Structure 1
Amino acid sequence: MKELVIIGSCMLLPPSPSPTPHHSTKQKHSSLSPTRLSPAKLSCSSVDSTAAPRPPLLTSVRQDLTPRHRNRLKYYADLASKLAEDGKLEDFLMIAETVLVSGTPHWQFVASLSVKLVSAGVSGFLRDGKRQTFIDFFYRVDKLGLRPSALIDGSGRKLLARECRRLADDGKLEDVVGLMEILSGFGFSIKEFVDPFRIVNMCVERCDPDMAIRYACIVPHAHVIFSYAIHEFGKKRDLMSALNVFDASKCNSNGPNMYTWRAMIDACGHCGDYLKSRYIYEELLTQKVTPNIYVFNSIMNVNAKDLSFTLHVYKQMQNLGVSADVTSYNILLKACCLAERVDLAQKIYIEMEHKASTGELKLDVFTYSTIIKAFADAKMWQMALKVKEDMLSSGVTPNMFTWSSLLSACANVGLVGKAIQVFEEMLQAGCEPNSQSCNILLHACVEAYQYDRAFRMFQLWKESGIQKIFQSKESSASTGNLVTEGAGENYNMPSDISDTEHLCIDKVVPFTPTTATYNILMKACGTDYCRAKDLMDEMKLAGLSPNHISWSILIDVRGRSGDVGGALQALKIMREAGPEPDVIAYTTAIKACVKNKNLKVAFSLFEEMKRYGLKPNLVTYNTLLRARRRYGSLHEVQQCLAIYQDMRKAGYSANDYFLKELIEEWCEGVIQDNNQDQSLLRLGSSCNKSGIEKPQSLLLEVVAAHLQKDIADNLVVDLRGLTKVEARIVILAVLRMMKERCTLGQHL
């Protein structure tokens, strides 16, 4: 135990014993705390009982100090401040403890200290890299009942902030969070040390939700940090980490916080887990909490691909008395657009227009752009242009998304001239075209089979850029734009331009082709493989990488020219040098084989894509089912039936027309080849005309079930439960199987 001895005016402090190392930092700090001294112990000397008399200690200091006592407190405070400035922290602590145990209030002792001197001395250890000494001192100060943050001035806080930023710059996430946890416990406001969002971003980059939780728990307004962390983990597609932070935020809050719940729903949307977002939304409702409009908008936006659920949430919002805002309606329009329900989108738009006329809503650019896109996708170009006029009359300026949707509305119906007119209006409005708008214009030309026009536009834009031309006149503010199609070929000048008016180039917008640009032009090559290959090479020289669509188009060009071998070679090169072939590339190659009557290779490609783990799509199945238009061998029919059953298992609605014809012709072949009585055919025809009570798909399932068995071995056919038409087709199928066996020389 340390004992304070005062001899004359000289104060002696026995050296402190070396602290015993501990594994835990907290335990180490507590072991370094000096033993509190009692006033009785302070009144006697442990060094020499015959020592000279010493000044009296502050043994009975009252809150209303006398001048004499104030002078003594000032003396000890000044002495402690100078000792701290000199880095003698042990001496400072001993004086502080002596003064405090004598009854001096903590706040009076701190008020008597020179914070500038104490801060300078303590910060020196931090400046010298002795961060642990700095922390240990504050632990012992805190144990004495003093507030550590009161002993550091502005300069010391700046030094602390510099140390925290240095740790963050060095990527020492655990060190910086640990230091700020300690400083927060000492009463420091840590938000001034490091940008809180920077720390959260470091946690997200490290995929460390636990560290993000630790940090969020020590900052003021923790719900903001929790929400930001959830949002950032969601953007990184780390749903599990986002959920961990979300669960911690619920434990840290007294009740549901709408910020964090909304952030979690949005994170589910970023990660594509729509069902999880619904569970979170339902959990909020079960707590008898009414979500605010932002939570409702988030859950509707995340589930916008499911129109029925979106409408269900919208009705719940109305039932709970939450008024929809313009964002709510915009999300409803988006859901209708995704579901291709232009009729419902039109009704919602009319309702929004009515509310806008009464001042309840103010439609924004997203509203108009979404309804224009809905009309564009439905090929209702006139309605799309009408909405544009409504938009302009309401004082809303179209943005790039609006103009792109208007261009698509005209391009989807092959109105190239109208699309170019819209393009000119976009330039006149001051909206600079981007690659997407230019691609839509080229796509319009390709869809209208105006291939040369597309290539002329592309070549001119690439060489000269897109010229924004305006009509100039001193007394007129009217303007007009011209889009040049090719060298020496312009649109007609406006007829109302007088001699005093002239056209000037306002600005030339550089044109930067994209991979999509080259893909569109490759489609315009038709069967010209060399030209398409040159475009792909040009794409590579421009620093662009051909994607799956590029290779699929190249395969299609080869297939349409009748070069099946070339199509297969392009597929092989794609696998070796390009991206891994996807279902579209395989389907395109299968289509090329079917078109050129190479069915064996087509079916082998189908099996190959399944071996690579690719799931066929509806186009793949239909291409193979329509490949055989005449009856062949049992193996061929069974091959088609296997594809048909695989298609049904994959969840696709099958078009049974071609397969039904194939099976009927294959079964009828046994009668036609043996010149049987045509009355059987008429019977079959009458049965077919009488109607098949069951759907064709069920009929095919019955036939498929029998054909998959080796019925010809035992010649036993179970016809129970079959209709007349089904029974007839099954019997004919068995007869056909028997005939094929006899033809091959096999005995029944």
Structure 2
Amino acid sequence: MGMAMTSSPQPPPPPRRRRSRLQSATTISAPSANPKPNPKAKVIPLLSDVGRLQSATPTPTPNGNPSPNPKGKVLPLLSDVGSNPSAIDYYSRVASNLAGAGRLGDFLIAAEGLRAASGDAGFAARINWRLLSRGVVAALREHGLPHVLEFLRDADRIGVHATVMLDADASDAVAAACRQLLDERIMAEFVEAIEALARFFVKGIVDPMDVLKIFVRKRDPDMAIRYARIFPHSQLLLCNTMEAFGKRKELKHALKVFGALKDQLGGINMFACRSIIDICSHCGSSVQARIIFEGLLAEKITPNTHVFNSLMNANAHSMSYNFSVYKHMQEIWCPS
């Protein structure tokens, strides 16, 4: 009898052990939800936050006594700058950093508050002039010359004479911006810039006579007078401008400059009188030369011999007039 071949059943595989979720959670470390702060990071408070700035409260210990924090640093209050030297040093550094970042408006606010709190105008000596110079150059590049000129005026008003503190690079940058206006013949803005810098520095920016010659060519005596009056040697500049108009036979403009020179001096300058009479002669106006000379006599001013000789030359064609003036001057110079 044949036996039927039957396969014996295989035992089931042992069950795989599963790691419980609890074990997974305990073995895999989750990232901390609250990262540890970086102790090196330091936030510098703004000057506007000084009123709200308070010292940190120490953490109390179980016995009730606060434990001192060796790393805690109490920043000085703005109200302490009058009595605490470290406070004025701190806020001077804050103001200097604002200037170095090109934030000139914020620097002015900080400096003005610092001066008011300290009551000492000498605080300006604590400003870092290198940072201030760097900020002026940055502001000039980003905002232009008018912005910097306004800053210089405002800084001078609160006792920070910024132009004196500027280094050579910053001064050269301001001067170059002024010369660019002149090169582009933006004359009105150029004169305004030089007027704004008149109290600070204008030496070396450009030769004043080079500018005045431009106004002479433009036949603009008003701007020439305005520009010449910026400088301490304005009398000489006005005389040279008057002669420059005379060489071009612009008698009307030369007379206008002569009038401005008289007003500035508060009287008559004999050199200017001689020059304007020579200009009248060069322009062929002997009548105007007589008017100027006789105006001196009417004001009880005795002309010197140089003015008299110029009048004689201007009226060389009229012997009768020259003779009458000669007799009159003899009576003045050599009274009997």
Residue of structure 1 in register with 2:248 after alignment:
236
Residue of structure 2 in register with 1:302 after alignment:
314
SS at match of 2:45: strand
Does residue 273 of structure 1 match 2:285? yes
Letter in 2 for 1:161: A
Identify which of 76, 88, 98 aligns with 1:55.
76
Compare 207-216 and 127-136 and name the one that shifted more.
Answer: 127-136
Letter in 2 for 1:81: S
Identify which of 58, 80, 90 aligns with 1:75.
90
Distance in 2 separating the partners of 1:298 and 1:148: 50
Residue of structure 2 in register with 1:163 after alignment:
177
Deviation at 1:43, TM superposition (A): 7.3
Residue of structure 1 in register with 2:264 after alignment:
252
Does residue 93 of structure 1 match 2:114? no
Does residue 10 of structure 1 match 2:47? no
Contact kept? 1:83, 1:89, Cα under 8 Å: yes
* Distance change >3 Å, CA 278–CA 95, structure 1 → 2: same
1:394-409 alignment runs, 5 A limit: none
Contact kept? 1:223, 1:257, Cα under 8 Å: no
Contact kept? 1:13, 1:91, Cα under 8 Å: no
Deviation at 1:181, TM superposition (A): 1.2
Contact kept? 1:265, 1:298, Cα under 8 Å: yes
Compare 302-311 and 83-92 and name the one that shifted more.
Answer: 302-311
Contact kept? 2:102, 2:134, Cα under 8 Å: no
Distance in 2 separating the partners of 1:55 and 1:101: 16
1:321-470 alignment runs, 5 A limit: 321=333
Residue of structure 2 in register with 1:142 after alignment:
156
Distance in 2 separating the partners of 1:50 and 1:80: 22
Contact kept? 1:116, 1:153, Cα under 8 Å: yes
Letter in 2 for 1:246: F
Deviation at 1:201, TM superposition (A): 0.6
Contact kept? 2:179, 2:205, Cα under 8 Å: yes
- Per-residue CA distance 1:115-174 (angstroms, 9 max, x = gap): 233123203333457112212322322342433432323333333332222222222221
Distance in 2 separating the partners of 1:255 and 1:51: 72
Residue of structure 2 in register with 1:263 after alignment:
275
Residue of structure 2 in register with 1:109 after alignment:
123
Distance in 2 separating the partners of 1:135 and 1:148: 11
- Per-residue CA distance 1:702-740 (angstroms, 9 max, x = gap): xxxxxxxxxxxxxxxxxxxxxxxxxxxxxxxxxxxxxxx
- Per-residue CA distance 1:439-489 (angstroms, 9 max, x = gap): xxxxxxxxxxxxxxxxxxxxxxxxxxxxxxxxxxxxxxxxxxxxxxxxxxx
Deviation at 1:311, TM superposition (A): 4.4
Does residue 283 of structure 1 match 2:295? yes
1:7-46 alignment runs, 5 A limit: 10-12=44-46, 44-45=51-52
Distance in 1 separating the partners of 2:319 and 2:173: 56
* Distance change >3 Å, CA 317–CA 118, structure 1 → 2: farther
Residue of structure 1 in register with 2:217 after alignment:
205
CA RMSD of aligned residues (A): 3.0
Distance in 2 separating the partners of 1:120 and 1:309: 68
Contact kept? 1:223, 1:259, Cα under 8 Å: no
Compare 288-297 and 272-281 and name the one that shifted more.
Answer: 288-297
SS at match of 2:290: helix
Distance in 1 separating the partners of 2:55 and 2:120: 33
Distance in 2 separating the partners of 1:261 and 1:176: 31
Letter in 2 for 1:137: F
- Per-residue CA distance 1:75-119 (angstroms, 9 max, x = gap): 33333223212212123112201111114332x122222323312
Deviation at 1:13, TM superposition (A): 5.7
- In the alignment of these two chains, the number of paired residues is 277
Distance in 2 separating the partners of 1:300 and 1:117: 64
Distance in 2 separating the partners of 1:138 and 1:101: 19
SS at match of 1:192: coil
Identify which of 112, 119, 131 aligns with 2:145.
131
Point out where structure 2 has 5 or more consecutive residues left out of the alignment.
1-41, 58-73
Deviation at 1:268, TM superposition (A): 1.6
Deviation at 1:207, TM superposition (A): 0.8
Percent identity, aligned pairs only? 36
SS at match of 2:178: helix
Residue of structure 1 in register with 2:11 after alignment:
none
Contact kept? 2:246, 2:279, Cα under 8 Å: yes
Contact kept? 1:80, 1:92, Cα under 8 Å: yes
1:302-701 alignment runs, 5 A limit: 302-321=314-333
- Per-residue CA distance 1:566-623 (angstroms, 9 max, x = gap): xxxxxxxxxxxxxxxxxxxxxxxxxxxxxxxxxxxxxxxxxxxxxxxxxxxxxxxxxx
Letter in 1 for 2:156: D
Contact kept? 2:124, 2:159, Cα under 8 Å: no
Distance in 2 separating the partners of 1:206 and 1:227: 18
* Distance change >3 Å, CA 303–CA 120, structure 1 → 2: farther
Residue of structure 2 in register with 1:477 after alignment:
none
Letter in 2 for 1:257: N
Distance in 1 separating the partners of 2:118 and 2:90: 16
Distance in 2 separating the partners of 1:9 and 1:304: 86
Residue of structure 2 in register with 1:467 after alignment:
none
Letter in 1 for 2:113: T
Distance in 1 separating the partners of 2:109 and 2:44: 15
* Distance change >3 Å, CA 57–CA 272, structure 1 → 2: same
Higher RCO structure (Cα 8 Å, ≥6 apart): 2
Distance in 2 separating the partners of 1:148 and 1:315: 62
Distance in 2 separating the partners of 1:82 and 1:43: 17
Contact kept? 1:228, 1:263, Cα under 8 Å: no
Residue of structure 1 in register with 2:29 after alignment:
none
Distance in 1 separating the partners of 2:46 and 2:297: 69
Normalized against structure 1, the TM-score is what? 0.34
Distance in 1 separating the partners of 2:192 and 2:235: 20
Contact kept? 1:84, 1:117, Cα under 8 Å: yes
SS at match of 1:190: coil
Distance in 2 separating the partners of 1:98 and 1:281: 60
- Per-residue CA distance 1:683-715 (angstroms, 9 max, x = gap): xxxxxxxxxxxxxxxxxxxxxxxxxxxxxxxxx
- Per-residue CA distance 1:203-246 (angstroms, 9 max, x = gap): 11111111011112211122112111211112212222222222
Distance in 1 separating the partners of 2:201 and 2:305: 33
Letter in 2 for 1:12: L
Distance in 1 separating the partners of 2:258 and 2:78: 56
Contact kept? 2:76, 2:87, Cα under 8 Å: no
Distance in 1 separating the partners of 2:271 and 2:142: 43
Letter in 2 for 1:95: A
Normalized against structure 2, the TM-score is what? 0.72
